[in-house]
Each structure stands twice: as structure tokens, then as C-alpha cells.
A and B are shown apart, each in its own frame.
Chain A
Amino acid sequence: EAGVAQSPRYKIIEKRQSVAFWCNPISGHATLYWYQQILGQGPKLLIQFQNNGVVDDSQLPKDRFSAERLKGVDSTLKIQPAKLEDSAVYLCASIAFVSSAGDGELFFGEGSRLTVL
């Protein structure tokens, strides 16, 4: 079974430029997440999709970040304009099993490492 695919793996941009990250979840996984992981910290949830609808985007900085999941499969996360503090690894994850106890297994991609200069 193919895992969660993300691209690009690495991106270096100047501040105020824009960047986009792409994620292809595991086939059949309806729920998709984007996390931001700053160096030395745990992942922080940015947005959660269920199929092509947004379930929770309360922690997404909407003045500069946007995300979409057209057709309920692939997803893109965009940052425009980027700030220095956006330097982080952006992780995409998907889940197959939705549980009322919240104990489903998240499958993560390898992440996209962003450096903003």
C-alpha cells in the first residue's frame, strides 16, 4: 500500500514570496490533516478535511495560509506571503478509521521542509 505522498520535500524562499505544498493521501482515506512542525516542537494542527469539506481550520492563519482539497483526494496548502516564522516542516496525514474515541491511526507523509530567508 502506497503511503502519504508529499512534495516538494524541500523549499527555500524569500520572505513575502509564496509557496504551495501538495499532498496525496492513502487511497480511500477520507480524512486529511495538515500539520506544522517547527524545529524542536511537536506537530501543530493547521486544518482538517473530511472528504472535500473543512472540518476544523481554527488554527490556520487565514490571512496568509489557505488550503483546499478538491474532489476529496489530493490537497494543497499555500502560504502567501511567507514570513520568517513560517519556517517549519509541513506534514500531511490521513486516516482511514474514524472512531468516536479518537483512536484511529494517522499516517503521515515525510513532510515538506520550508525555509524562509
Chain B
Amino acid sequence: GQNIDQPTEMTATEGAIVQINCTYQTSGFNGLFWYQQHAGEAPTFLSYNVLDGLEEKGRFSSFLSRSKGYSYLLLKELQMKDSASYLCAALDSNYQLIWGAGTKLIIKP
């Protein structure tokens, strides 16, 4: 079956760095997405990885290892506004997004 695993909740301190991990098992693979979702709002696109390696975009970076079925989202210089849920989603061979349940990130001052 198809499955995405990510931690349910994480806590970090303002100004620090946090890494949110995601492992996936899908029928075929066409890339890995990270979305951010603030409470009561729709998800917004953060990143897309299809090749192995690290993609950096400002304070956010996303890493992919296809051989390990593993990705992480790295958030640096955490700000209070980064408190949100972070959704990992893998694109399968039929171009369907398989979603994880999301990681709720709590930022403390």
C-alpha cells in the first residue's frame, strides 16, 4: 500500500533550527512536496524535490533521498509565524498526491 509517515507534533524555540522528517512508500514516484498549513487556512506550497539532494529557498530547505524513501524539511531562524502544520506529500506514478497527516510545529519564545 501507499503510505506517508511524519511526526505528529514537534516543538522548537524561536531563532532555532528544526528538521521535520518524512518517509514515504508509493507506487512509483514523481516527486515529493512540502506544504505549510496555518490553522484554519488552506495548504500553501513550500517546495518540490524530484532529484536527490538539498534544495534551499531562503530560511527553508528540503532534502530528498529516493533510495531511502526519505525527505526532510529544514527550517532555520525560526519565527513565531512558522507555527503551523507541515504536510509532506508524494506524487505517485499516476500523478496522484499521497498526503501525510501533517506535523504540527509549535514555536516557543
Are A and B a genuine interacting pair, yes or no?
A: no
A→B interface (CB under 8 Å): none
